[in-house]
């Protein structure tokens, strides 16, 4: 080996050591940076002719384990869906109130029945009649608040779908720009950014990643392309405020791309079934409306029971009784949303021109009757408690909602455990082990020192040669 060859080899070794040190330092610095994947300096032997000529730096490589990333993405989508579903179930349970909730619908029904019993036992007490009136109004208010809260949840879900779609389209546009980078400019940093964008899309709308050279294509779980050589726009039209009778297609929007229906609550063969958007659609179009239907059944039960003529012989036959659909005297045609419109009869409300004594004397009483006569209050009590009363429906709804909450929380916990396991596996393969990086730094330091020693030796040899020829 010539002196010049030794010099070139040692110089390339120093350059390689510096590059490896830079990469290791970058790994340590970004050890806790979310989305950062471990780098390595790619080296190869440099050959000139048939002779080795040191080491050649090829650039940086990014660690990869596509099967682990794919599994982690699936787990992310399931966890996102399950978490959103559990939160919705919790909110619905809080809206209705559990059996031990003093401000829930069950408590309001129990308070109304208790006030009715007290008034029936002491009909001469106007204080108890006022308390009964207040309990009836509190019951209608509580049902109304639960119905309004459910409407708000549907509106929020619709709005959040719209926000998610905007974010997905923005991410697709940025991914398209990354795909258009010239060959060779897809650096590890670009790949990190690309994966972060894909992860954001995947949490809302699960995707599969297909690679074509340095480019990526994204396909939904139903087979619709979101990204090819260009970004495909995901379409959704937010409603703004979702009403009680609004439903998918009438007039609520679904979600689509290139005319392909992806709506999770729709019937399209390419619909999405997981991810946060799927959970939001399920809340908007399924879970919350079902809850509202059950609320309406409780309200319909109250109106129908007290509309029976035997409940109050003094009222106009065939008309509503103690509870009405927004003041409508007709007890028929009780439509969706009645839980939000339920009202106590104006005849017993002084604020509406009525009098609380009609609770004792009957809604149609023209004059105040004997103050000690509790017969009508007894009829109201019998009406309320017959066949278990509306409390049976309310208790069933409470139990059903509690079971749904427990199930949703169980799914959320299981999904979170799976997500954590998948994430840990991916991090173990792709993340930065600072201890190993520091050990590598020590080896790099030794390699650098060895190459520097070669250079020093070559320099000493040159000095000796130069001295010999003087």
Question: Residue 240: left if φ>0, alpha if ψ -120 to 50, beta else—which one?
Answer: left
Distance CA 11, CA 248 (A): 70
Is the entire prediction scored with pTM above 0.95?
no
Torsion of CA 158, 160, 162, 167, to 10 degrees: -170
Per-residue pLDDT of the chain (470 residues; tens, 9 = 90+): 577 777 888 888 898 999 999 999 999 999 999 899 999 999 898 887 777 778 988 889 999 899 999 999 999 999 999 999 999 999 999 999 988 888 899 999 999 999 999 999 999 999 999 999 999 999 999 999 999 999 999 999 999 999 999 999 999 999 999 999 997 788 999 999 999 999 999 999 999 999 988 899 999 999 999 999 999 999 999 998 999 999 999 999 999 999 999 999 999 999 999 999 999 999 999 999 999 999 999 999 999 999 999 999 999 999 999 999 998 888 777 889 999 999 999 999 998 899 999 999 999 998 999 999 999 999 999 999 999 989 999 999 999 999 999 999 999 999 999 999 999 999 999 999 999 999 999 999 998 898 889 888 887 787 777 788 76
Are the beta carbons of 77 and 206 closer than 8 angstroms? yes
DSSP string covering 410-438, please?
Answer: HHHHHHHHHHHHHHHHHHHHHS--HHHHH
Token couple for 14: 């120093």
The 10s digit of each residue's pLDDT in 203-216 is 999 999 999 888 99
Helix (H, G, I), strand (E, B) or coil at 302: helix
Q: Strands 342-344 and 323-325: what pairing?
A: antiparallel
Q: Strands 260-261 and 256-257: what pairing?
A: antiparallel
């Amino acid at each position: 080996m010539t002196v010049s060859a030794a010099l070139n080899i040692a110089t390339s070794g120093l350059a390689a050591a510096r590059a490896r040190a830079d990469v290791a330092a970058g790994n340590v610095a970004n050890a806790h940076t979310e989305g950062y994947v471990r780098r390595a300096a790619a080296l190869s032997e440099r050959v000139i002719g048939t002779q080795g000529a040191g080491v050649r730096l090829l650039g940086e490589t990014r660690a990869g384990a596509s099967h682990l990333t794919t599994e982690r993405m699936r787990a992310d989508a399931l966890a996102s869906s399950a978490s959103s579903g559990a939160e919705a179930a919790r909110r619905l349970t809080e809206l209705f109130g559990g059996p031990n909730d003093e401000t829930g619908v069950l408590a309001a029904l129990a308070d109304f029945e208790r006030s009715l019993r007290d008034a029936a036992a002491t009909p001469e007490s106007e204080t108890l009649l006022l308390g009964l009136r207040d309990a009836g109004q509190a019951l209608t208010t509580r049902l109304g608040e639960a119905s309004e809260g459910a409407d708000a949840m549907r509106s929020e879900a619709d709005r959040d779908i719209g926000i998610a779609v905007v974010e997905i389209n923005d991410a697709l546009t940025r991914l398209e720009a990354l795909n258009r980078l010239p060959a060779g400019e897809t650096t590890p940093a670009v790949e990190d950014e690309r994966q972060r964008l894909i992860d954001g899309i995947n949490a809302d709308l699960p995707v599969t990643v297909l690679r074509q050279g340095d480019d990526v294509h994204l396909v939904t779980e139903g087979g619709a392309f979101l990204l090819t050589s260009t970004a495909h726009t995901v379409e959704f039209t937010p409603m703004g405020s979702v009403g009680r009778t609004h439903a998918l297609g009438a007039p609520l929007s679904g979600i689509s791309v290139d005319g392909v229906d992806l709506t999770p609550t729709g019937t399209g063969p390419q619909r999405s079934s997981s991810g946060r958007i799927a959970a939001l659609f399920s809340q908007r179009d399924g879970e919350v409306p079902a809850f509202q239907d059950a609320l309406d059944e409780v309200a319909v039960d109250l109106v129908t029971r007290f509309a029976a003529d035997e409940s109050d012989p003094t009222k106009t036959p065939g008309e509503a009784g103690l509870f009405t659909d927004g003041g409508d005297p007709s007890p028929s045609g009780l439509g969706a949303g009645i839980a939000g419109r339920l009202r106590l009869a104006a005849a017993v409300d002084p604020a509406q021109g009525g009098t609380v004594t009609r609770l004792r004397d009957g809604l149609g009483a023209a004059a105040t009757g004997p103050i000690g006569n509790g017969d009508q209050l007894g009829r109201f009590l019998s009406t309320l408690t017959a066949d278990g009363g509306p409390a049976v429906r309310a208790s069933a709804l409470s139990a059903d909602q509690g079971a749904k909450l427990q199930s949703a929380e169980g799914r959320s916990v299981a999904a979170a455990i799976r997500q954590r396991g998948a994430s840990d596996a991916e991090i173990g393969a792709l993340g930065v082990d600072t201890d190993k990086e520091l050990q590598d730094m020590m080896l790099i330091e030794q390699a650098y020192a060895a190459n520097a020693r070669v250079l020093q030796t070559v320099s000493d040899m040159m000095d000796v040669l130069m001295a010999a020829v003087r």
